[in-house]
Structure 1
């Protein structure tokens, strides 16, 4: 008999993706190294999109909507992560434009109740041949709308 993985706790918007902090992610002071936060967020987004059929396997033309570049990354650190273990990344979309989007994220406790860091990342969809901005596909926009944060 195989045990099923526990479902991620619910969030009011977006998605909570489980992530693991390992001992070697910690810095000399025993805290999660500041450069690991964006890396873990990137891995969570990659997992999210792969589960929905997008990814990069070495061919930029075949990558379609996954042919994109980071234009901006902002992150604020709220509290240190001081031990390895189970955590989560709360992911959502702040904005979904024609050729760009803004991701929002929180690096948080596994249940989403404690925020350790939060930020945004702006992506631009690129044409694989010209590397100029290109529109997101309608399929991507449809799936992306599910992650849009409601207006306050």
Structure 2
């Protein structure tokens, strides 16, 4: 009798859980200015429900200044450093790559409001990381070469 009751209540809980669809978090797709105003990142769909992000704009003080480089000496322009974000209950989870070192970290991205995004990069546990807040970029589409004039992100 106990087994029958346990199975019954288990099925009842399972059915209740099936009826309650968890809401997906807001989509982070769009253009965002990094927390320190160093550049513009585009987050975009990259297969199925996944999102990726690339650096698409950075300020250049002088036209002759070189383009910032990654750890392996490639241009940071269009460098995809946010990889494989997937929606979870309240945030998007995936990974990020540090363009200066090439190190990979886990990432948690959460849209806080229409104009603010929170990115937490961490190693092993979320408590072992750092959080950055980005703001929505509303300027003109960044140029193909990613070079933006000084003070264009302020």
**Pairwise TM-score range, normalised by the shorter structure:** under 0.3
**Which protein is bigger by CA-based radius of gyration?**
2
TM-score (normalizing by structure 2): 0.25
Indicate the structure with greater strand content: 2
TM-score (normalizing by structure 1): 0.25
Indicate the structure with greater helix content: 1
